[in-house]
Structure 1
Amino acid sequence: MNYIKKFFLIVPACISLVACHADLDQNPIDPDSFTETNVFSNAQEAKSALAKLYASLALTGQQGPAGQPDITGIDEGTSQYSRMLFSLNELTTDNAVVGWGDPGLPNLHAMNWGASNDFTTGMYYRLAQEVSFCNSFISNAQALNDNPEVAAYIAEARFLRAFAYYNLMDLYANVPLVEQVSTELPEQSNREMIFEFVENELLAIQEDLLASGSNEYGRVDEVAAWGLLSKLYLNAESWIGTPRYTDALNYSQQAINSTYSINTTDANGNGSAYDELFLADNNSNGAQNEFIFAINFDGNQSKTYGGTTFLVHASIGGSMDASEFGVNGGWEGLRTTKALVNKFNYSVTAEDEDGNPVEWEDARAMFYTDGQSFEINTIANTFTDGYAVTKFKNVDSDGNQGSDLGGDFVDTDLPLIRVAEIYLNYAEAHLRGGGGDAATATGYINELRERAFGDNSGNINSSDLSLNFILDERARELYWEGQRRTDLIRYGLFTSGSYLWPFKGGISGGMAVEDFRRLFPLPSNLISVNQNLTQNTGY
Structure 2
Amino acid sequence: MKKLIYLLAAFLFIVQGGCTKLDQEFYSQVTPETFFQSEKDILAALNRPFTHARWYMGADRWKLQECAADAFAITTKGRHWYNGGENERYHYHRWTADENWVWQTWRGTLMGISLALDAKNDLTKLDYGRFALTQADKDAHISQLNTLIAYFYLRGLDFFGGLPVFTSLDQGALPRSTDQEVFNHIEGLLKEAMTKLPGKTGGQREEGVLRQGAAAAMLAQLYFNAEAYIRKPMYAECMQLCREIVDGKYGPYSLDAAWNGPHGFKNDQSPEIIWSIPSEFNKLQYDWFFADFYHYNTRQFFDTDMGANNGLHLTPSRAPDSSLYTTRLGNPYEKFAPTDLRKQVYRYLGSGNYEGMFINGPMLTRAGATIKGGEEYKDQPLVFRDQVARFSEVGPGKKYASISNLTSRMSDGEENTGVRLVKVPIPPLAENTLRWGADMPVIRLAEIYYMLAECQWRSGDAGSAATLINAVRKRNFPGGVDPNPATAANLDAYRFLDEWLVEFLGEGRRRTDLIRWKKFTTEAWWDHTPSGSEHLNRFPVPTQAISGNNSLKQNPGY
The whole-number CA distance in structure 2 between the counterparts of 1:473 and 1:373 is 23
Determine helix, strand or coil for the equivalent of 1:444: helix
Instruction: Return the match for 2:45 from 45, 49, 54.
Output: 49
Question: Residues 509-528 of structure 1 correspond to what in structure 2 (within 5 A)?
Answer: 510-512=529-531, 514-528=533-547
Which ranges of 4 or more aligned residues in structure 1 deviate by more than 6 Å?
12-21, 357-360
Does the CA contact (< 8 Å) of 1:58 and 1:297 recur in 2? no
Determine helix, strand or coil for the equivalent of 1:52: helix
Could you say if the C-alpha distance between residues 277 and 346 of structure 1 is closer, same or farther in structure 2, counting changes exceeding 3 Å? Answer: closer
The whole-number CA distance in structure 2 between the counterparts of 1:316 and 1:300 is 20
The whole-number CA distance in structure 1 between the counterparts of 2:444 and 2:303 is 23
The whole-number CA distance in structure 2 between the counterparts of 1:319 and 1:141 is 48
Determine helix, strand or coil for the equivalent of 1:289: coil
Query: Is residue 196 of structure 1 aligned with residue 208 of structure 2?
Result: no
Partner of 1:62: none
Instruction: Return the match for 2:509 from 472, 483, 490.
Output: 483
Determine helix, strand or coil for the equivalent of 1:314: helix
> 1:495: Cα distance to partner?
1.0
> 1:365: Cα distance to partner?
7.2
Does the CA contact (< 8 Å) of 2:224 and 2:235 recur in 1? yes
Structure 2, unmatched stretches of 5+, are 76-80, 129-133, 318-328, 347-354, 363-382, 389-407
Does the CA contact (< 8 Å) of 2:224 and 2:451 recur in 1? yes
Partner of 1:244: 234
Determine helix, strand or coil for the equivalent of 1:464: coil
Query: Is residue 3 of structure 1 aligned with residue 6 of structure 2?
Result: no
TM-score w.r.t. the length of structure 2 is: 0.77
Partner of 2:466: 442
Query: Is residue 374 of structure 1 aligned with residue 416 of structure 2?
Result: no
Partner of 1:461: 487
Does the CA contact (< 8 Å) of 1:211 and 1:221 recur in 2? yes
Query: Is residue 25 of structure 1 aligned with residue 25 of structure 2?
Result: no
Query: Is residue 165 of structure 1 aligned with residue 159 of structure 2?
Result: no
> 1:216: Cα distance to partner?
5.7
> 1:479: Cα distance to partner?
1.2
Query: Is residue 390 of structure 1 aligned with residue 390 of structure 2?
Result: no
Could you say if the C-alpha distance between residues 410 and 43 of structure 1 is closer, same or farther in structure 2, counting changes exceeding 3 Å? Answer: closer
Does the CA contact (< 8 Å) of 2:330 and 2:526 recur in 1? no
Could you say if the C-alpha distance between residues 326 and 220 of structure 1 is closer, same or farther in structure 2, counting changes exceeding 3 Å? Answer: farther
> 1:444: Cα distance to partner?
1.8
Partner of 1:175: 163
Q: How far does the alpha carbon of each residue in 1:435-486 deviate from its partner, in whole angstroms, 9 at most, with x for none?
A: 7x54443222112111111313333333333333211100010011011000
> 1:315: Cα distance to partner?
2.0
Moved more, 519-528 or 477-486: 519-528
The whole-number CA distance in structure 2 between the counterparts of 1:20 and 1:43 is 25
Question: Residues 393-432 of structure 1 correspond to what in structure 2 (within 5 A)?
Answer: 393-395=425-427, 401-403=431-433, 410-432=436-458
The whole-number CA distance in structure 2 between the counterparts of 1:394 and 1:182 is 45
Does the CA contact (< 8 Å) of 2:501 and 2:510 recur in 1? yes
Partner of 1:134: 116
> 1:391: Cα distance to partner?
2.3
Q: How far does the alpha carbon of each residue in 1:42-62 deviate from its partner, in whole angstroms, 9 at most, with x for none?
A: 554222101101111124xxx
Does the CA contact (< 8 Å) of 2:425 and 2:438 recur in 1? yes
Instruction: Return the match for 1:451 from 447, 452, 475.
Output: 475
The whole-number CA distance in structure 2 between the counterparts of 1:215 and 1:140 is 28
Does the CA contact (< 8 Å) of 2:360 and 2:385 recur in 1? no
Partner of 2:293: 315
Does the CA contact (< 8 Å) of 1:115 and 1:521 recur in 2? yes
What letter is aligned with 1:246? Answer: A
Query: Is residue 536 of structure 1 aligned with residue 548 of structure 2?
Result: no
Partner of 2:260: 275
The whole-number CA distance in structure 1 between the counterparts of 2:466 and 2:206 is 33
Partner of 1:299: 281
Determine helix, strand or coil for the equivalent of 1:347: coil
Question: Residues 209-248 of structure 1 correspond to what in structure 2 (within 5 A)?
Answer: 209-213=197-201, 217-248=207-238
Q: How far does the alpha carbon of each residue in 1:227-248 deviate from its partner, in whole angstroms, 9 at most, with x for none?
A: 1111111101121111111111
Partner of 1:98: 74
Determine helix, strand or coil for the equivalent of 2:262: helix
> 1:205: Cα distance to partner?
0.9
Could you say if the C-alpha distance between residues 39 and 96 of structure 1 is closer, same or farther in structure 2, counting changes exceeding 3 Å? Answer: farther
Q: How far does the alpha carbon of each residue in 1:265-322 deviate from its partner, in whole angstroms, 9 at most, with x for none?
A: xxxxxxxx223433333234xxx3211112222221125xxxx423233222277555
Does the CA contact (< 8 Å) of 2:359 and 2:422 recur in 1? yes
The whole-number CA distance in structure 2 between the counterparts of 1:522 and 1:464 is 40
The whole-number CA distance in structure 1 between the counterparts of 2:135 and 2:330 is 50
Partner of 1:71: none
Does the CA contact (< 8 Å) of 1:290 and 1:420 recur in 2? yes
What letter is aligned with 1:390? Answer: V
Determine helix, strand or coil for the equivalent of 2:267: coil
What letter is aligned with 1:152? Answer: A
Q: How many residues align?
A: 473
Higher-Rg member (1/2): 2
The whole-number CA distance in structure 2 between the counterparts of 1:87 and 1:516 is 19
Q: How far does the alpha carbon of each residue in 1:473-503 deviate from its partner, in whole angstroms, 9 at most, with x for none?
A: 000100110110000011111111xx21124
Does the CA contact (< 8 Å) of 2:296 and 2:310 recur in 1? yes
The whole-number CA distance in structure 2 between the counterparts of 1:439 and 1:538 is 41
The whole-number CA distance in structure 1 between the counterparts of 2:303 and 2:471 is 28
Partner of 1:290: 272
Could you say if the C-alpha distance between residues 262 and 312 of structure 1 is closer, same or farther in structure 2, counting changes exceeding 3 Å? Answer: farther
Q: Percent identity?
A: 22
The whole-number CA distance in structure 2 between the counterparts of 1:14 and 1:38 is 20
Question: Residues 495-510 of structure 1 correspond to what in structure 2 (within 5 A)?
Answer: 495-496=521-522, 499-504=523-528, 510=529
What letter is aligned with 2:194? Answer: Q
Could you say if the C-alpha distance between residues 349 and 163 of structure 1 is closer, same or farther in structure 2, counting changes exceeding 3 Å? Answer: closer
> 1:515: Cα distance to partner?
2.2
The whole-number CA distance in structure 2 between the counterparts of 1:300 and 1:321 is 18
Query: Is residue 263 of structure 1 aligned with residue 239 of structure 2?
Result: no
The whole-number CA distance in structure 1 between the counterparts of 2:179 and 2:332 is 35
